[in-house]
Structure 1
Amino acid sequence: MSGMKENVLKSFVRDTYKNTSAIPYIITGQAFMFILLHIFELLTFDDIISTDLFKWTYEHLSLPSSIYAFIRQPWSLLTHPFIYQGIFNILFDCLWLYWVGNIFLNFLNNRQLLTVFFGAITLGGLLYIGASSVPYFSDATKYWNTTTFGLAALISSVMILVPHLQVRMFLLGDIKLKTIAFLYLALQFIFLFLDNPISAIVYVFAAGFGALFIWQLQKGNDWSKFFKKSRRPKHLKIVQGKNAGRHSSSNRKHPTDLPNQDLIDQILDKISVSGYESLNSQEKEVLFKASKQDQ
């Protein structure tokens, strides 16, 4: 029985982390920090330790609402998306990230997902700090955390990328993804505005960033290429002997095997107009090869 449990655990870890998707790693980081924070809270509550580790960790890893405080802890721009207090908040965000993120990866690659997600988090964090310095908002702002800005960008990007994609909802039937996305963004904006007005304003910019990324991508401008690693050209290996021709022909890819950028742009345009379902099998294969090539 213990061997079976061990095999199940190993297969779960292997299946979860074997692909190139960053989503499992992001969710794991969020879950780890959530558990760690509440362990600190429990230790402080039971007077096991004299220092309030929960408060110290929360304040030093969350994004402050002051430029001067941010200068003292610049790492908070990277750590604040992984800080959560409420169990329902983290569950809700993780489910949305998993669902929308995997829809995104069905059409585009991991590098583009990270650019949209963390680009919006970085942009939103900087805007939040800057706007918090305005006297009108200074009293209403507070520590900021969670992946709210990144989710806004991902959801808006998918809404623009596949506007006609339909999702089967329990008891409701088929509903267009853009309808669900619009309702989510609108409700989230209202909740943020009632709790923290400046975050609601920044939320709009974060969602706009995701939509702008897709619009530029459809025009042939892939912002994620800025983060693409430059590959060194491989040196030709001269092989002499009777196996030379066979060796070179088997290892060399023909140019027609690689997706053409103009064709990819046409396919993305077709998706934006008619949805993913309108693609034929050959176009889906081209899109799949392109995503694998860019990873």
Structure 2
Amino acid sequence: MDIAGDIKRTFKEGSVLTRLIYINIGVFLLLKIIGVFFLLSGHNMRVYDWLSVPSVTEVLAQRPWTPITYMFLHQGFIHLLFNMLGLYWFGQLFLYHFEGDKMLGVYLMGGLWGAFLFILAYNVFPAFESIRVPMLGASASIFAILVAVAFYDPNREIHLFFIGGIPLKYVAAFYVLLSVIGISSTNAGGNIAHLGGAFWGWFYIYQLRKGKDMGAGLVNLVNKIGEFLGGLFKHKSKMKVTYRKPPRDDHEYNRQKHKQQDEINRILDKIAKSGYESLSKKEKELLFKQGKK
């Protein structure tokens, strides 16, 4: 049984959703194993302190990486389990409409907005004046994905235990309302971060409908960093062969067809508003190919 090989293969061939789940689980297991060695040596492990986003701006200035690292960090198994279940459920819905790069952008920017609102609230509101707490977890990013897909496809029904079918917009509204109420609980910072992620999910789709992908810049940066790091450990071939993989199943096929039809509809709307000459070269080529089918 080549478990490591299977994990490497599924990570490499899997979707962005699969990779995000693997990274979160991998970070959790790695830190727990490191924690065992710290425990046996009789020392306290401060790794979580160095990776969680702090509420104090002076500490944040010393740890500027934390608004990124905190969104892949979970201290307890139950925390990890529920976040990964939410990421999987809502991530699947998101990928039905959009490609993986957009999901990565929403995840990362949603987490950053969650961290921003958390830090802002703890340095503005008098209720948090004497409280110094760090924050960790992927929930702000998951809220961004949930609200984004709910705003894009609000009437899509999902089935819940004991309730049955319910439109996605009500699920998103329920979780956002819980987070607002939860600010008065012991996890005020986490609930505030949820609202930051939710805002980004709404704002992202709002801008995307105007033709602006507000997460593309960050995703391009991440891809370039990944290519650079990959190049350090992998010999580059002079010949590059690219090919398009066929859809793996009916769900993937339907998702691709749905995405293609949405793009055609967008181009037709653009022609109706601004005329054929307003189309880019790529849009004209896509419309031409579609007309030959």
**TM, length-normalised to structure 2:** 0.69
Residue 121 (structure 1) aligns with: 111
For the structure 1 residues 107 and 73, does the alpha-carbon distance in structure 2 shift closer, same or farther, using more than 3 Å as the test? Answer: same
Please tell me whether residue 89 in structure 1 is matched to residue 79 in structure 2: yes
Q: 8 Å contact 1:23–1:98 — kept in the other structure?
A: yes
Where does residue 112 of structure 1 map in the other structure?
102
- Greater Rg by CA: 1
Shift of 1:97: 0.6
The equivalent of 2:44 in structure 1 is 52
The 2-side partners of 1:145 and 1:114 are apart by 18
Residue 267 and residue 92 in structure 1: after superposition, are their counterparts in 2 closer, same or farther (change >3 A)? Answer: farther
Q: 2: CA distance between counterparts of 1:35 and 1:170?
A: 30
Distance 1:147 1:267 in 2: 38
Q: Distance in 1 between matches of 2:35 and 2:174?
A: 35
**Deviation digits for residues 237-277 of structure 1 (CA, Å, limit 9, x no counterpart):** xxxxxxxxxxxxxxxxxxxxxx6987343799xxxxxxxxx
Which of 54, 57, 61 is residue 71 of structure 1 equivalent to?
61
Q: Distance in 2 between matches of 1:35 and 1:179?
A: 34
Partner in structure 2 of residue 283 of structure 1:
none
- Counterpart residue number, 1:246: none
> Which structure 1 segments of 5+ residues have no match?
231-258, 269-285, 291-295
Q: Is the 8 A contact 1:218 1:265 kept in 2?
A: no
Report the equivalent of 2:264: 263
Q: 1:134, CA displacement in angstroms?
A: 3.2
**1:58 to 1:225, Cα distance in 2 relative to 1, 3 A:** closer
Match of 1:34 in 2: 28
Alpha-carbon offset, residue 192 of structure 1? 4.6
CA distance in 1, matches of 2:219, 2:138: 24
Q: Root-mean-square deviation (CA), in Å?
A: 3.3
Q: Which residue of 1 aligns with 2:131?
A: 140
Distance 1:68 1:223, change over 3 A: same
**For 2:42 and 2:25, how far apart are their aligned partners in 1?**
25
Q: Is 1:211 the counterpart of 2:193 in the alignment?
A: no
Pairing 1:18–2:13 present: yes
Change in Cα spacing, 1:193 to 1:22, as seen in structure 2 (3 Å) is farther
Aligned-pair identity in percent equals: 25
Please report how far the alpha carbon of residue 152 of structure 1 lies from its aligned counterpart in structure 2 after TM superposition. Answer: 1.3
Which moved further from structure 2: 154-163 or 138-147?
A: 138-147
2: CA distance, partners of 1:100 / 1:154: 7
Report how many aligned residue pairs link the two structures: 234
Aligned position for 1:254? none
In structure 2, what is the equivalent of residue 277 of structure 1?
none
